[in-house]
């Protein structure tokens, strides 16, 4: 069983945990708020030391190299997985309480995602990926929405 966690690397000596091996060039997210899911900045690992990594973080007009603790990053796939879990659970809650997600305006979808634990910017991005016009006659709207979110956040090397 692989445990999903928010603390980067785990020691191979901790019982019951698998060590996550990261390499130079891996796509990760620098976690900016430990209390909100999806609060992170995309980055690429440039160098790895004992308990720190150097990350290349691309901003609009520049790229910066940051040295951070390994506990401050998540691999792209785990970061995306945590966002998808919140979206999936929130979708179920909305369907149960409102009959259909199509009955809610985008701002209410954002509010529900934030209530579910997503960072506000991530909640807005996920709601933006849910273009209601596409879903009126679509089969499996949840699957399509989750795929869009996955494709948006999961950065492949």
HSE-CB at 97 with a 13 A cutoff on CA atoms is 10
* Helix or strand (DSSP H, E) at 54: strand 52-58
Helix and strand totals (H; E) in the chain:
5, 5
**Chain segment 100-148, per-residue pLDDT in tens:** 888 889 999 999 999 999 999 999 999 999 875 566 567 778 888 898 8
Residues in the chain: 157
Every domain of the chain and the residues it spans: 79-153
User: What gap in Å lies between CA 92 and CA 42, rounded to an integer?
Assistant: 28
- Work out the pLDDT band at 5, boundaries 50, 70, 90: very low
Out of 13-22, 54-63, 83-92, 94-103, pick the least confident: 13-22
Q: Which two tokens stand for residue 91?
A: 């979708």
Strand partners, 58: 63
pTM (2 d.p.):
0.81
Q: Which two tokens stand for residue 88?
A: 């999936």
pLDDT at 17 over 60: no
Contact between 128 and 153 (Cβ < 8 Å): no
pLDDT at 8 over 60: no
- Closest C-alpha among 54, 86, 97, 58 to residue 72: 54
Task: State the helix-helix crossing angle for 106-115 and 76-98, rounded to 10 degrees.
Answer: 120
* Helix or strand (DSSP H, E) at 111: helix 106-115
- For the residues 8-35, what does the mean pLDDT come to? 69
């Amino acid at each position: 069983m692989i445990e999903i966690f928010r603390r980067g690397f785990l020691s191979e000596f901790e019982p019951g945990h698998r060590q996550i091996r990261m390499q130079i060039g891996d796509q990760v997210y620098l976690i900016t708020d430990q209390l909100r899911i999806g609060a992170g900045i995309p980055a690429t690992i440039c160098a790895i030391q004992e308990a720190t990594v150097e990350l290349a973080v691309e901003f609009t007009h520049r790229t910066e190299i940051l040295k951070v603790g390994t506990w401050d990053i998540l691999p792209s796939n785990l970061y995306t997985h945590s966002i998808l879990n919140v979206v999936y659970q929130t979708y179920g809650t909305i369907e149960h309480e409102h009959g259909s997600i199509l009955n809610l305006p985008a701002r209410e979808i954002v509010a529900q995602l934030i209530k579910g634990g997503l960072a506000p910017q991530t909640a807005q991005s996920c709601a933006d990926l849910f273009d209601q016009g596409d879903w009126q006659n679509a089969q499996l709207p949840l699957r399509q929405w989750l795929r869009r979110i996955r494709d948006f956040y999961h950065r492949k090397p």
